[in-house]
Structure 1
Amino acid sequence: MSDSKENVDVLKMYGEDSTTQRDEFLKKHNLNEKGLTSKQAEINIKKFGLNETKKAKPKKWYNYLLQSLLTPFNCILIGISIILIYTDIYLAIEPSYANIIVIAILVTASTLLDFFESYRSNKAAEKLREIVETTTTVIRDNKEVNIPVKNVTLGDIVLLSAGSIIPADLRIIESKDLYVGQASLTGESDNIKKTVELENKQEELDSISDFDNICFMGTNVVSGSAKGVVIKVGDSTYFGKIANTVTSGKEKTAFQKGIESISKLLIRIMIFMIPIVFLINVEKHDIILAFTFAVAIAICITPLLLPVILSSSLSKGAVRMSKKKTIVKKLDSIQNFGAMNIFCTDKTGTLTEDKIVLEKYLNVNGEEDFNILKYAFLNAYLQTGLKSNIDEAVVAKAKTIGIENSVEEYKKIDEIPFDFSRRCLSVAVEIDNKDELITKGAVEEILNICTTFEYKGQTEKLTNKKIENMRKICKDLNEEGFRVVAICKKIITNNKKDFNSTDEKEMTLLGFIGFLDPPKESAKEAIEGLNNAGIRVMVLTGDNVEVTRCVCNKAGINSKEIITGNKIDTLSDVALSRLLKRNNIFAKLSPIQKARIVRVLKQNGNVVGYMGDGINDSPALTNSDVGISVDTAVDIAKETADIILLEKDLNVLLDGVMERKKNICKFNEIYKNGNKLQLWGSSFSNYCKHCTTIFT
């Protein structure tokens, strides 16, 4: 199975608290709505610790300097310098400082070049903790008080409202129209409704998106209000599990391992050659001369200029890539950027525009009908509650085709706000002395309140057969990745001016509207370019299968089989490795599952790049050979990444890759092709000439 740090069982973490009824939950944990007392809170903080994620000790500037100084090649050169101090100064009749000065200059130059880049590299743990350095409102001693988030503890009752950051993992005990944005954890663009009781069945609880009565630390309230009981704090939260994968640090990349292997090879050759040369010469010359010559051989076989050439070449590459809107944070990542043969990316915002767009407006027979769009526009435009991304998409679409002026003919009478029990919203309007109630909402809820349907101006009775046909239309749209909303209306004949939910009955179904987060126009061309450059593109997303399939088809990625996160959890690393060879698209993934996929790909000998911009992408960015983010990403993603694109466009990535392939030599290919001798062959040739001279 996967590493322990990647093995997060959400059902085990939240299943019991989520599936327990509200009153039973409060009774079980001996809680009441008056909140904890100050004494209870103090005891809990001592017992469970502060509500903080695992802290990594911040690095000082000298830590980066030492890291740049003590590279494998620099260590070899420093070792040679120490020997030269003994042979060229201590033993020599006339001390010679030339060789020592040259090596010192080379070591200093390569160290400073690397230091200035690495000093600006990420401090991911600090960015992760920024989100909890705020205050939140809790009930303590039966009073509402603001406390630092780090002092929130198990059993606290937290008050939530629009704009609140969720300070810990909470079980909801009261909720009013609560919408939570979980995109930073899951990558899903839609806001998630949260309720008091779990609506999904236990066997359907595969990811954190399925727990609709649990709010997770690090997410935010979009609208509504609620009360929640703290059930997990600090490192035990889902957010904390992600933080731990980032603070654990980045593994050595293929390029770094290659440099280390060359350094070890040189050391082994030196250890082998120096004694042999010394023993051969000690019989003909004195000990000091024989030892001096052996050291000279060691210097000859060492590529003294390699550290400087390496650092300067990578720095020059970084400058050239910056002209292609690609900013390099870590010089070592440039080599991996060019050697990358697998590129993993999230779907939202990379392949798609990261905004919901209305693309379908269909009548009851699935035919395009502008009349459906008109009624949807009236409902979305005239309602005065919090406008969702669906309302904004409807209004935007209406404006693009010029039907927004139709609203002037209508006079608003009243509205029935949206709520989660009805899952619909209604607006009452007047036109030509005729009153209408226009309703939009979830398909099943709308079908339940309709008794007739309208098609081309004719109204007919809504039969079971017709309902099944309409459900098939909606199912087909869902399979194409659309989110479907139904539209219906009702003629009001009693001059009523005040409306409520009891009026939403015996209505006439008009049709459906379908929304999609559309693929970027440039995505398909960019993916083809990456494939032609020898880079395999894989999609790792937290979104559902239907939406993912639709987007990938339009982007030119084969979506014949899509693997979900719950299947991955049942596989060992070996089985997952076989699966990764055959499939390119993975959906409904948690951040930890994404990180595991990247790790297994690397273990199979691939150079893996990962592109993401959310908190949910940070573990995968850390696990990858080269982490890629964008300038609009959340701080933690930018700080974890090795390379930042100035535009969230795969064409910018392609430009950067091609620039890298054109301008910098591929060290990894040299290693793999067995041409390691190229780095020191010339020096070894010189050594042979010297040996010939001495022996003759």
Structure 2
Amino acid sequence: MASIPGHTGLSSSEAAERLQRSGPNALPGGARRTWRHIALDAAREPMFLLLVGGGLLYLVLGDLLEGAFLFAMVLVTIGMTLYQEGKTERALDALRDLGSPRALVLRDGAPVHIDSRGVVPGDVLVLSEGDRVPADGVLFEGAEVQADESLLTGESAAVSKRPGTAPDPLPRPGGDDTPLLYSGTLLVHGHGLVLVTATGAAAEIGRIGQALAQIAPERSPLQKQTARLVAIFAAVGAAMSLLLVLLYGLRSGDWLESLLAGIALAMSMLPEEFPVVLTVFPALGAWRLARANVLTRRLAAIETLGATSVLCVDKTGTLTENRMRVHSLFADGVVHALDGAPLPGHLHELARRAVLASAAAPFDPMEKALHELAVAPIPGLALAREYPLSPALRAMTQAWRQPGQAGYIVAAKGAPEAILSLCALDGAAADAVRAATDQMALGGLRVLGVASADWAGELPAAQHGFAFSFVGLVALADPLRADIPDAVAACRAAGVRIVMITGDYPATAAAIAAQAGIDTGKVVSGDTLDGMDDGQLREHLRGAGVCARIAPDQKLRIVQALKEGGAIVGMTGDGVNDAPALRAAHVGIAMGKRGTDVAREAAALVLLDDRFSSIVQAVRLGRQIFQNMQKSMSYILGVHVTVAGMALVPVLLGWPVLLYPMHIVFLELMIDPACALAFENEPAEARIMTTPPRDPKAPLFGGWTVTWAALVGLGSLVAVLAAYGWAVRHMPEDQARAFGFAALVAANIAQIFANRSHTRSMLQGLQTTNRLVWIVAGVALAMLLVSIYQPLLAGLFRFTAPAPGDLAAAVGIGLASIVWFEALKLLRKPHTGAAAAG
């Protein structure tokens, strides 16, 4: 990155010393939960309390071994919670680090991007429009700087800033025409250099940092729905447990045993895994998205990704490489292709004026390409005034003061039609310029007009005040990224429509869209858009693939029109004026490399590499995460139906109790890792990107999904109940219990494999890689064998080992309990939406 003349900033070693002294540039406190907080939260959970209650009852009964076992399981449960929650917290920590704001500072004489936590007093910040100010400081060089200080003052109107020195005493934030900028505020206009005076808690925002840290995040609608579902299960479970205690107690007269059976039923009815799924899956999903170069700023956006039906994307830097080079120049009525050859002498003036209309130390790839024309600059010029680009006039002008002279050299560059409006060309000359523009734009080139003026006297208030002369056109090539055609094809196969939105000339935009494989249909221009009402725009956008000459503030109308037409809209953006559209879209996607802080904060996702293919990968992962959450919750409901049924029905039928608290604990040791880790690790379905987006109104867990899961659970319940009923008639009680429990464990394992897909057979699923599923199943079977054949554990579980052949039969019955479900998969038509759990 080019150095900034006259400024060096701190050296790296000096900055490191100051960071050691002043500490990181961050407010005190943090959102991370420690292991103590996690353990304390786990200790308040109903499952934990039921385990403690069961352990105490065993101690009252004098069964010290059983009581000790349950208390040991309390520790195991907390340990598993610590592992799961710890993994979630580590994933969130990684996201926080990735999402930490960046700052552009001068170090060792050159601008470098650093983590804003590394900014120290004495640093020189390089700030541009759209940046969030990372620390308090004094503006000592800048042009037309305005800042939004509403975070500190509550006033929405931006205040102007002028270069200067810090006044004494320091005024409060919100003052107009001061040189002071404050941490956390936004630069909404202009650019400048700022000397940092205070960081972290010492900054002005430190006063309100404590209040900000205490604001609790709002729960998502899905979290609220799941909380209601858990509450319903808990209420039904409590009622059924009370009924079981009464029935068993009255029949047997053993009220302590009946209470243990009631606790087991309550534990089996409590689907405490639902909140775990809603915590673990989005956090680990966001971590997976980050590995695909997509930073998730709001976890709720993951729910919407799979439903996205329209993606509105920028051209420059997203579809193209944003690596521009000057391809050709138009001057004196002739188009001159450069082809890497030296610039002819008669084109030097056009090149020089294009450079004078650009920043002296450019960051924009287009302006860098203009500087690379390597034309000798006019010595001694000093920038007197900059007239920025605006939606009303897509051109920028810079006036330069000549050394030793009273006049100014003025240069303008911008959209050819804007430059023509600044120049007084006759009809034939203007037509020639338009024809040359069309000729170059049809090749997918970005075309800029260049104009110049020599000015004496006071500078005018607006660009139209100058007497401009037309100099020529500059055409820049920005090649399409190599992976774009395949990525666009993947979107079309997935039923996701691409709408390219750009400020480029319509012919240029259409040419690039055609190269990318975007169905252009009709091209909507910004001028045409302004002439339409909302209804007309909504209808016009139905067949449009390209929106050209679009100003940033027009993006909001496009997003709203698409939403009113029933689309689920993903929207990319990078500028300050893009923020309303990013916020209005269902999924706002900001550019991580070239995007402003304003855009990143308004968006739900940030592209760390600015690549369109990363958006496509994010849609794929969003669908996969949603599907896997759905599979996991189906499994949780189905297995709880089976387990709760086996805790209740045998007692109602007058059979011996099958499940006591220690048996439920054993099953929970299977269910927890299966639902939270094994399903989260499940690979995507083969058809995941060849089906239309899911209906956004369809709940994650409701309707047919709930019915399907309940039917799977009931099918397993019937099979296991039949197995236990046969064993009760033909075996001693403890041996029958071991037989029935083995069938139940096997049915649980079978449900894990069955729920890996609701459309693909279990045998096909065995071909896909997910080691965690096999690990859970293998550990469960090993634990079952140990609990049956190890004498101490067999006594705890009230088991007598059946013959190996009988045990194999029990496992076979459990595994076969989902055969009917596998047969239904063959009869049932696959879901057409990506929301199907497979």
TM-score bucket (shorter structure): 0.5 to 0.7
Aligned to 1:78: 48
Aligned equivalents of 1:598 and 1:77: distance in 2?
A: 49
1:263 and 2:220 correspond: no
Aligned equivalents of 2:290 and 2:365: distance in 1?
A: 36
Match of 2:522 among 557, 560, 564: 560
1:527 and 2:488 correspond: yes
Q: Deviation at 1:299?
A: 1.8
1:278 and 2:241 correspond: no
Q: Is the 8 A contact 1:132 1:149 kept in 2?
A: no
Report the residue type matching 2:47 in the other structure. L
| Bigger RCO of structures 1 and 2 (CA < 8 A, at least 6 apart) | 1
Cα–Cα, structure 1 residues 339 and 487, in superposed 2: closer, same or farther, change >3 Å? closer
Give SS of 1:96's match.
helix
Report the residue type matching 2:650 in the other structure. H
Give SS of 2:481's match.
coil
Q: Is the 8 A contact 1:530 1:537 kept in 2?
A: yes
Q: Is the 8 A contact 1:522 1:649 kept in 2?
A: no
| Equivalent runs, 1:381-420 vs 2, <5 Å | 381=352, 387-388=358-359, 393=366, 396=369
Aligned to 2:258: 290
1:131 and 2:144 correspond: no
Match of 2:640 among 665, 680, 683: 680
Q: Is the 8 A contact 1:68 1:115 kept in 2?
A: no
| Equivalent runs, 1:222-233 vs 2, <5 Å | none
Aligned equivalents of 2:349 and 2:526: distance in 1?
A: 39
Deviations along 1:252-273, whole A, 9 cap, x unmatched?
5576567546534533442443
Aligned equivalents of 2:236 and 2:475: distance in 1?
A: 68
Aligned equivalents of 2:422 and 2:566: distance in 1?
A: 56
1:485 and 2:453 correspond: no
Q: Deviation at 1:296?
A: 0.8
Cα–Cα, structure 1 residues 609 and 450, in superposed 2: closer, same or farther, change >3 Å? closer
Aligned to 1:14: none
Q: Is the 8 A contact 1:614 1:637 kept in 2?
A: yes
Cα–Cα, structure 1 residues 353 and 222, in superposed 2: closer, same or farther, change >3 Å? farther
Aligned equivalents of 1:89 and 1:615: distance in 2?
A: 66
Aligned to 2:807: none
Q: Is the 8 A contact 2:329 2:336 kept in 1?
A: yes
Cα–Cα, structure 1 residues 513 and 646, in superposed 2: closer, same or farther, change >3 Å? closer
Q: Deviation at 1:513?
A: 2.4
Give SS of 1:484's match.
strand
Give SS of 2:251's match.
coil
1:467 and 2:427 correspond: no
Q: Deviation at 1:353?
A: 3.5
Q: Deviation at 1:524?
A: 3.5
Match of 1:690 among 623, 637, 650: 650
Mean alpha-carbon deviation: is it higher for 87-96 or for 632-641? 632-641
Q: Deviation at 1:157?
A: 2.0
1:108 and 2:108 correspond: no
| Equivalent runs, 1:267-666 vs 2, <5 Å | 267-286=234-253, 287-302=255-270, 348-354=316-322, 357-362=325-330, 375-381=346-352, 387-388=358-359, 393=366, 396=369, 423=397, 464-468=427-431, 470=433, 482-486=446-450, 511-515=472-476, 519-537=480-498, 550=510, 555=516, 556=518, 558=520, 560=522, 588-589=551-552, 593=556, 620=582, 630=592, 647-655=609-617, 658=620, 666=628
Aligned to 1:191: none
Q: Deviation at 1:302?
A: 4.1
Q: Deviation at 1:307?
A: 7.5
Report the residue type matching 1:277 in the other structure. L
Give SS of 1:678's match.
helix
Aligned to 1:7: none
Aligned equivalents of 2:429 and 2:447: distance in 1?
A: 21
Report the residue type matching 1:136 in the other structure. L
Q: Deviation at 1:297?
A: 1.0
Aligned equivalents of 2:488 and 2:554: distance in 1?
A: 23
Cα–Cα, structure 1 residues 149 and 483, in superposed 2: closer, same or farther, change >3 Å? farther
| Equivalent runs, 1:1-12 vs 2, <5 Å | none
Give SS of 1:136's match.
strand
Cα–Cα, structure 1 residues 445 and 419, in superposed 2: closer, same or farther, change >3 Å? farther
TM-score by length of 1: 0.53
Q: Is the 8 A contact 2:313 2:499 kept in 1?
A: yes
Q: Is the 8 A contact 1:350 1:650 kept in 2?
A: yes
Q: Deviation at 1:632?
A: 7.3
Aligned to 1:96: 67
Report the residue type matching 2:245 in the other structure. F
Report the residue type matching 2:30 in the other structure. K
Aligned equivalents of 2:411 and 2:555: distance in 1?
A: 41
Aligned equivalents of 2:449 and 2:284: distance in 1?
A: 53
1:156 and 2:176 correspond: yes
Q: Is the 8 A contact 2:350 2:472 kept in 1?
A: no
Report the residue type matching 1:134 in the other structure. G
Aligned equivalents of 2:445 and 2:307: distance in 1?
A: 34
Aligned equivalents of 2:552 and 2:61: distance in 1?
A: 66
Q: Deviation at 1:96?
A: 0.9
Aligned equivalents of 2:297 and 2:39: distance in 1?
A: 15
Deviations along 1:247-299, whole A, 9 cap, x unmatched?
98876557656754653453344244323333433432444443332221122
Q: Is the 8 A contact 1:440 1:446 kept in 2?
A: yes
Aligned equivalents of 1:477 and 1:149: distance in 2?
A: 58
Cα–Cα, structure 1 residues 657 and 258, in superposed 2: closer, same or farther, change >3 Å? farther
Give SS of 1:513's match.
strand
Aligned equivalents of 2:280 and 2:314: distance in 1?
A: 33
Q: Using the aligned pairs only, state the percent identity.
A: 14
Aligned to 1:212: none
Gaps of 5+ in 2: 1-25, 102-115, 117-130, 142-158, 194-203, 206-210, 388-395, 403-408, 458-465, 657-838
Q: Is the 8 A contact 1:341 1:535 kept in 2?
A: yes
Deviations along 1:381-412, whole A, 9 cap, x unmatched?
5999685369985884797xxx97xx79xx98
Cα–Cα, structure 1 residues 109 and 484, in superposed 2: closer, same or farther, change >3 Å? closer
Q: Deviation at 1:585?
A: 7.2
Report how many aligned residue pairs link the two structures.
530
Q: Is the 8 A contact 1:565 1:588 kept in 2?
A: no
Mean alpha-carbon deviation: is it higher for 588-597 or for 285-294? 588-597
Aligned equivalents of 2:329 and 2:39: distance in 1?
A: 60
Aligned equivalents of 1:580 and 1:57: distance in 2?
A: 48
Deviations along 1:128-165, whole A, 9 cap, x unmatched?
9753522236999x995315999465553246xxxx97
Report the residue type matching 1:683 in the other structure. V
Report the residue type matching 1:296 in the other structure. A
Q: Deviation at 1:69?
A: 7.1
Cα–Cα, structure 1 residues 520 and 558, in superposed 2: closer, same or farther, change >3 Å? same
Give SS of 2:191's match.
strand
Deviations along 1:86-118, whole A, 9 cap, x unmatched?
544567664614334243333333222223333
What is the Cα-based RMSD across aligned positions, in Å?
A: 6.8
Aligned equivalents of 2:566 and 2:451: distance in 1?
A: 51
Report the residue type matching 1:650 in the other structure. F
Aligned equivalents of 2:47 and 2:575: distance in 1?
A: 42
Q: Deviation at 1:609?
A: 6.3
